[in-house]
Chain A
Amino acid sequence: MQENPTNSNPANTNPANTHSIPYAVLGTSRISFPDNDPFHASATLATEAEIMVYLGYPHLEDHSKRAILVELDTECLGELTGEHLGEEGSNILGFARYRNGTDDPSPLVELVKQKNSRPEAIAAAIALFEAAGLQVAVCNDHLGRIIDRLVRPKYNAALRFLDEGRATQKDLDLTCKLGLGYPDGPVERVVRGGLVHHYHITTVLFEGTGASGYAPARRAIVAAKRERN
C-alpha cells in the first residue's frame, strides 16, 4: 500500500544529481526518441558517458557505467540479458517511452527492472529521464509492461462492442470521454494508433499469456491481413 495516489517508486525521492549525468545514445530509435528528439542533443560521447542508452541496437555489458538502458518494443528485458532462475538483474535496465502506435511519443517512460537490478542504476535512469522532461513509471519485466497490459484488452472489448452493435463508434467513444473524462475514446484511439500495430501487440500478449482478453480483435486481424495482401 502506498501513502498517496501520486507518488511513484521510492527511487524517485532520491534522484542522483539530476542534470549532470553524462549519457551517450547509440542506435536509431524504433519508438522512444525519433532522430529529431531533443534527447539526442544533450548526449555525449560513449567514452565520457556514465549512462549508455541503446536504441534498437545490440547493447554491450559494461559494469563501470551507472546504468545501461536498452530500449524495448514488445520484448522482455530478459530476452536481452538472459534469465537466471528469478535472480537476474544488473546495471542493465529496459525502457520504452509509451507511444500509441503512430501518435507522437507521450511523456511517459516505462522503466523495466529485474529482481536484482541495481538501485543506483534505477535512480540514475529516473534522474536522466526526468531531467529530459519525462515522467517515469517503474515496472518489473512482464509482457506488455503496464500500459499495453492494461489497455489492449479494453481496446479489444470496444472493437468487439462495435462488431456486435452494442453502440456506434461515436457513442462508444463519447461515453468514455463524457463518463470517464478520457481525452479520447477507445475506438478512435486504437484506430488512430493503427489497428495493425494493435494486432502485433495483442498477438505477442496472447501468445505469451494465453489470456482470452488479449486475443486480437476481429477488426485488427482484418487490418493485418489486408496489409499483408
Chain B
Amino acid sequence: MSHSITTIGVCGGGGTMGAGIAIVAARAGFKTISYDRSPDSLASARKQTSQFFDKSVERGKMKPELRDEALARLTITSDIAELGACDLVIEAVFEELGVKHALLKQLDEVCPDHTIYASNTSTLSITEIASGSKRPHNVVGMHFCLPAQLMKLVEMSAGILTSPETFKTAWALTEQLGQIPVETRDDPGFILNALLVPFNNDAIRAVEAGVAEAGDIDKAIKVGLGYKMGPLELIDLIGLDTQIRLCEAFYGVTLDPRASAPPLLRRMVAAGLTGRKSGRGFFNYGSNAMFGA
C-alpha cells in the first residue's frame, strides 16, 4: 500500500549534495530532517542554506514569508532515531558501499516498514546498495546533479528487487519536489556519468597524444558544439583526483577502455595539479581563484 509522503529525511545533510537536497525538499513544502554524523558540517550547511534562501529572496525568486516557512520546516540532527518520522530518506553519505550498508542497517532499525530509501550514489549499483537493507524492495536510485538546489535533473533507477510501487512513489515525489526525473537502469554511471566520464577521458587522451593544446580542444568543443564548458575546463572544476576515482569506479565494473584513467591524469594528480582547487590543472587559475570569479 502506498503511503503519502509528508516527511523527508536527508542523510549526509552536512555534505555538498545532502545540503542541496535538503534545500530542495524544504523549499517544496516537505517537513525535512537533515541528518549527518558531523554536527559541525550540519551547522555550516544550515548557515549556507539560510544564506541561499536570503539570496533567493533578494533576487525576487522567493517571497520572504516562504523563506521563513522553508527554514522552519528544515531541522538538523545528529541523532539517527529522528529519521523514524520519515516516509522517504535520501542518502547522500560518502560514496563507499560499506558506509551505505551500515547506514541502511541503522535505518532499518529506526524507520517504519513503509519508508522508502533513495540513494544519490553516482557510481555504485542500486541493487548492491539495497542488499544492505532488509527491505531491498524499498530502495531506489535518485541521482541529483551538483548543485542540487539549482539543477533540475534527477536520474531515477530501480534495483533488481525494487518494487514498482516504490519506484512510482519516488517518481511522483521527485516531480512534487519541482525536479525533472528521467528513467534509467541500474547500470554503471546511469546516463550522465556513463557518457561524461569516458568523454572527459578522451579529451585528456587528446592532450596526451598531442592532438591539440588544451585551450584549442575546449574552444573547438564550445564553438563547434555549443557546450557551455569545454571538457578540460570541466575536469579542472570536478577535480582531477575525483576524475581518477570516477574512472576507477567505472573501469572496475565495465572494463571499457575509455573509462580507464589516462596516464596523463595520474601524472598530473601525482604532481599536485588537481584542477581549480589547487590553482592549476589543464589551465592555470592563479593561487586562489574561485569558480565563476
Contact = CB atoms under 8 A, between A and B. Distances in A.
B185 interface: yes
Interface in B205-242: 206, 209-221, 223-233, 236
A180 B196 CA distance: 9
A157 B215 contact: no
Given A1-B283, A9-B215, A181-B228, A146 B220 contact: yes
Interface in B239-286: 257-258, 273, 280-285
B194 interface: yes
Interface string A137-178: 111101001110111011001100100011110011011101
B108 interface: no
Given A137-B217, A158-B195, A146 B211 contact: yes
A140 B211 contact: yes
Nearest to B202: A150
B215 A2 contact: yes
B191 interface: yes
B103 interface: no
Given A140-B210, A175-B192, A167 B228 contact: no
A137 B212 contact: yes
A6 B213 CA distance: 12
A140 B227 CA distance: 22
A150 B221 contact: yes
Interface in B13-52: none
Query: Does more than half of chain A's interface fall in helix, strand or loop, or is it mixed?
Result: mixed
A211 B217 contact: no
Contact of B198 (A142, A146, A174, A213): A213
A147 to B, nearest CB: 5
A41 B209 CA distance: 38
Contact-residue size bin, chain A (C-beta under 8 Å from the other chain): 35 or more
A17 interface: no
A138 B216 contact: yes
A106 interface: yes
Interface residues of B, number: 56
A36 interface: no
Contacts of A82: none
A183 B283 CA distance: 25
A165 B184 CA distance: 8
B230 A5 contact: yes
Nearest to B258: A213
Nearest to B145: A179
Contacts of B210: 140
Interface in A54-94: none
B161 interface: no
B177 interface: no
Given A137-B220, A142-B211, A167-B183, A179 B273 contact: no
Interface stretch (B69-77, B83-91, B129-137, B149-157): B149-157
Interface string A117-146: 000000000000000000101111010011
Count chain A CB atoms within 10 A of each CB in B155, B184, B219, B220 and give the residue with the most.
Answer: B220
Count chain A CB atoms within 10 A of each CB in B217, B224, B232 and give the residue with the most.
Answer: B224
B54 interface: no
A4 interface: yes
Contacts of B198: 153-154, 157, 213
A107 interface: yes
Contacts of A6: 215, 218-219
Contacts of B218: 5-6
Interface in A181-213: 181-183, 186, 211-213
Given A3-B284, A167-B182, A167-B183, A175 B191 contact: yes
Contacts of A146: 206, 211-212, 216-217, 220-221, 224
A212 B257 contact: yes
A2 B284 CA distance: 6
Interface string B149-186: 00111010000000000000000000000001011110
B195 A154 contact: yes
Contacts of A145: 211, 220
Contacts of A183: 225-227
A16 interface: no
Nearest 5 CB-CB pairings of A with B? A137-B220, A139-B212, A108-B224, A178-B153, A171-B182
